[in-house]
Amino acid sequence: MENMAVKMQGITKAFNGVKANDHVDFYLEKGSIHGLLGENGAGKTTLMNILYGLYQQDEGTIMINGKIEDISSPVKAISLGIGMVHQHFMLARPLTVVENVMLGRKSRRGILLDTKQTAQELAAVSDKYKMGVDPYSKIWQLSVGEQQRVEILTAIYMGAQTLILDEPTAVLTPQETELFFDTLREMREDGKSIILITHKLEEIVEIVDEVTVLRDGKMIGTKKMDPSVTKGELTNMMVGRDVLFNFPEITKQPGEVKLSFRNICVRNDKGLPALKDFSLDIRESEVVGLAGVDGNGQKELCEVLTGLRKADSGEMTLGGEPVINKEPIFFINKKVSYIPEDRHTTGLALDWSLKRNLIFKSIGKAPYSRNGLMQSKCINAYWEKAKDEYQIKAICGDEKARSLSGGNQQKIILAREIDVEPEVLIADQPTRGLDVGAAEYVRNKIIEARNNSAAVLVVSADLEEILQISDRIAVIYDGELMGILPRGADTYEIGELMMGKREEVAVSGK
Amino acid sequence: MESKLKSTVKEVLGTVIMLALALLVGAVLVVISGNSPMEAYSTMLRGAFGSAQKICELFVELIPILLMAFGISVAFRAQLWNIGATGQFTIGAIAAAAVALYIPVPSGIAIPLSMIAAVVAAAFWAALAGWLKNRFNANEVITTLMLNYIANCFLLYLVNGPMQDPETDLSQSALVPVGMMLTRLFGDYRLHSGIFIMLIVTVIMFFFWKTNFGYRINLIGQGEKVATYAGVNVKRTTVMTMMLSGALIGLAGWIQIFGIQYRILSGIAGSYGDIATIVALLGALNPYGIIAAGVFFAALRCGGNSMQRMTDVPFSVVDVIEGLIIIFVIAKTIVNNKTLGLRDKFRRKQGGKAHVE
């Protein structure tokens, strides 16, 4: 019993009658790394938010170090030695690392700041776990991986013995992940206990001592990790069935160049260069996967390709016709479909009905519009058809898009963008935030579009996904094309390019 | 469909409760002023609906309120906060009067000509704010509001200067030709043929939100990003939306000149601009709601006049009730937004990765 850092028993938490956690038991041994595995919406984050005091459980007890505790707030959780690093970092970007740590804390020097002392202590902790964080660097200058280390460092500095990490590797390159795992091992050596929330099986196998699987808010089981535990077994526990990454067969080989752009230069919203002389060709019946860490110009590229952002310079042809900087409607009419990264502000009108979201690119176009009037009958009929074909789970077409789950929202976008039989399909993070089943469905639809002769560009931060569906893999770093690799390229090689190390690898393809 | 019905019922119920609350507070004020609220409100009711003449007066009020509220609702649906109804009304009225007074053509031509002039002038006055927004990213709340002052000063200059009636010292123009005045429908009652224009516009508004243009306006209201993504030319649609909004308001100005005032005079827009804005919001920017809210406000004003005349209760009680309704409308919007925001937050937390930036 004394060996348990955390023991949660019979935890139940309901939101509006929906049980996000249903009698979940969870324990964490001291000095171990415990994986919390499950699909999105399985209740992982809810359970950990309860442990961190953000929510209160409806039923059940929590024991910390063998003592029953009522964790009423994060402040209480921190005082009990529990720290949490969220998916979205809570850092003030213009400030330095040490200033961020000092925010909201009382200075030990009265009205004067104890910056120097804190910085020294931070540096000491950083050295201890080989995190390499400079207390005086400003947050905005740090890479995502470094920012994450700052978050962890802060939690430890505040005295965390138990650390909850919510999907920590989602934002990291393979190399950064390795480094991150080293830090975790280092901390485990030091007697800290770690909970790793994830839905990536590879991570569970690689680093975790024990794993607890949640599905639909219920605990499916806890397993000690040893070589006899297979990924298949875990998937089965997680999804409740075997997910076979069964893609439609590739029925067509890539054809003529459909979309071609040369030396594209464009600036981001802040007016800084986002793309520098970016050139790429995409052929008919071809999926080009664009790998890269988020924020390296992918979004701007997609926007240029669909007319949403004006390029400063460069050329672009669509089927041989020059199309640079045309209006968005031009691209829509040319059947260039776009699945945007941001479903909530770009891909959907959240407060519009589902059926209107399905046709909003066809305002003023037959058959949805006749004589200047939108045809409700026709729109309803299309909704019924699309709902069945794309397996959209919704009560009715008049429901607001806001009320759907992420997966179903994405299906609305897919239906709209793929049902027009696109000539070009630009998909920016098409499966982000979706559970395994929905992601599989989306990828299948993308391959289908490819087999129907579309030229496809898939942007993804998920290397697995890129590797699964791409005919060629382009890698972007800091707005530049780092190289183009053939299907089946080595993950490590892609990772190097993603970090901007061009000279170290032979660039093949192009 | 059911959920739609349910939310409509909920919305209407909320509005009714809100109005009841405002009237209740008004009643308290009446009591404090030493009068009977029952008497005050029944006088008000009789003053609004008590006789054929009263009902005619109700419609006289309703014509400009409804037209302007429809105009405002067009802009508001696109989240273009056109606060400039007063100015657009004024400019429309000036244009109408100028044509009537200075272009010597038979009234058969002058009537449509002045109508076109009023509508076009007001449309461009409103479009100016749209253009400023597109070109300089100027907030339309500020620009439309400022354009109100400019329109008002322009009006004051005209009625005290070049357009002043030479017969008097008053700040007003000469009367428009008798042949251009709108026919009164029932003897001496002020109700005029402008009501048919209001009815036509009302019918059109029911269809308007189903047109391509209506869809585009609505989509812009959902967010500039998603509208651009959907292929809507946001800048052009913004200007066109403002033009339509201003056109309807200018039409109200035209009707008011030839139906009621027969001339321009200082402060011609009265408080119609403010009332129409509340009516549009209270009616949730939807034609049914706007009609209901418009009738309510027209009744409140007509009845309020009666109340002031027949009892010791001052008209300012009506002003207070109007003010309270404004506050409630705004509070309701804020409460709705807050609950929406909370709901999203909750979803995000519960869904783990359901929302990723």
Instruction: Encode pLDDT of A295-310 as tens digits.
Output: 789 999 999 999 999 9
Helices (H), chain B: 2-32, 37-49, 52-77, 85-102, 107-136, 140-160, 194-208, 212-221, 224-229, 234-256, 272-282, 287-310, 316-350
**Gap between the Cα atoms of A144 and A121, Å rounded:** 23
Range of the domain at B49: 36-311
Examine residue B325 and state whether it is found in any structural domain, yes or no. Answer: no
Give B34: exposed, middle or buried? Use CB within 10 Å, 0-12, 13-18, 19+: exposed
Q: Domain A257-340+408-498, what fold?
A: Rossmann fold (3.40.50)
Q: Which residues of A17-53 are buried (b: 16+ CB within 10 A; e: fewer)?
A: eebbbbebebbbeebbbbbbbbbbbbbbbbbbbbbbb
**Gap between the Cα atoms of B190 and B195, Å rounded:** 11
pLDDT of residue B9: 81
Q: Which residues of A358-391 are buried (b: 16+ CB within 10 A; e: fewer)?
A: bbbbbbbeeebbeeeebbeebbeebbeebbeebe
**Gap between the Cα atoms of A506 and A504, Å rounded:** 7
pTM for the full predicted model: 0.77
What is the SS3 assignment for A43?
coil
DSSP string across A53-114: TSS--SEEEEEETTEEE---SHHHHHHTTEEEE-SS----TTSBHHHHHHTTS--TBTTB--
Inter-chain contact B219–A349, Cβ cutoff 8 Å?
yes
- Which chain A residues have a beta carbon less than 8 Å from that of B218? 352
Among B1, B212, B352, beta carbon nearest to A369: B212
Give the number of other CB atoms < 10 A from CB of residue B164. 17
CATH number of A4-239: 3.40.50.300
CATH number, residue B176: 1.10.3470
| Phi-psi domain of B343 (left: phi exceeds 0; alpha: psi -120 through 50; beta: other) | alpha
- Tens digit of pLDDT for each residue in A40-75? 667 888 899 999 998 899 999 999 988 899 998 888
Give the number of other CB atoms < 10 A from CB of residue B355. 16
Structurally, how many domains does chain B consist of?
1
Inter-chain contact A41–B222, Cβ cutoff 8 Å?
no
| Phi-psi domain of B112 (left: phi exceeds 0; alpha: psi -120 through 50; beta: other) | alpha
What is the SS3 assignment for B70?
helix
Q: Which of A279-293, A394-408, B7-21 reaches the highest mean pLDDT? A: A279-293
Shortest distance between the Cα of B180 and any Cα of chain A, in A, equals: 34
Inter-chain contact B233–A327, Cβ cutoff 8 Å?
yes
Among A44, A360, A429, the residue to mutate for chain B (most B Cβ within 10 A): A360
> Domain residue spans in chain A?
4-239, 257-340+408-498
The tokens of A238 are what?
């997680």
- Tens digit of pLDDT for each residue in A115-145? 899 999 999 988 888 888 889 988 888 877 7
The proportion of chain A whose per-residue pLDDT surpasses 90, expressed as a percent, equals: 43
**Gap between the Cα atoms of A347 and A367, Å rounded:** 22
- Tens digit of pLDDT for each residue in A333-380? 999 999 998 888 899 999 999 999 999 999 988 889 998 899 999 999
- Which chain B residues have a beta carbon less than 8 Å from that of A352? 218-219, 222
Shortest distance between the Cα of B120 and any Cα of chain A, in A, equals: 22
Examine residue B334 and state whether it is found in any structural domain, yes or no. Answer: no
- Tens digit of pLDDT for each residue in A453-488? 999 999 987 787 888 889 999 999 889 999 999 887
- Which chain A residues have a beta carbon less than 8 Å from that of B349? 45-46, 49, 54-55
Give the pLDDT mean for B122-126. 97
Give which of A389, A390, A395, A391 is closest to A353, Cα–Cα: A395
Inter-chain contact B219–A405, Cβ cutoff 8 Å?
no
Mean pLDDT of chain A: 87
Rounded to a whole number of angstroms, the CA Rg of chain B reads: 22
- Tens digit of pLDDT for each residue in A140-172? 888 777 888 898 888 888 888 999 998 888 777
Interface list for B 29-48 with A (CB within 8 A): none
Inter-chain contact A361–B215, Cβ cutoff 8 Å?
no
Query: Is any Cβ of chain A less than 8 angstroms from the Cβ of B226?
Result: yes
Amino acid at residue number B272: Y
Inter-chain contact A373–B212, Cβ cutoff 8 Å?
yes
Examine residue B111 and state whether it is found in any structural domain, yes or no. Answer: yes
pLDDT of residue B322: 85
The residue written with tokens 């461009």 in the block is B124
Q: What are phi and psi of A394, to 5 degrees?
A: -150, 155
Least confident segment among A85-89, A127-131, A170-174, B288-292: A170-174
Inter-residue contact B246 to B233 (CB < 8 Å): no
**Gap between the Cα atoms of A354 and B45, Å rounded:** 44
Inter-chain contact A338–B229, Cβ cutoff 8 Å?
yes
Inter-chain contact B219–A363, Cβ cutoff 8 Å?
yes
Examine residue B336 and state whether it is found in any structural domain, yes or no. Answer: no
pLDDT of residue A509: 41
- Tens digit of pLDDT for each residue in B52-95? 999 999 999 999 999 999 999 999 999 999 999 999 999 999 99
C-alpha B22 chain-centroid distance: 20
**Gap between the Cα atoms of A26 and B270, Å rounded:** 69
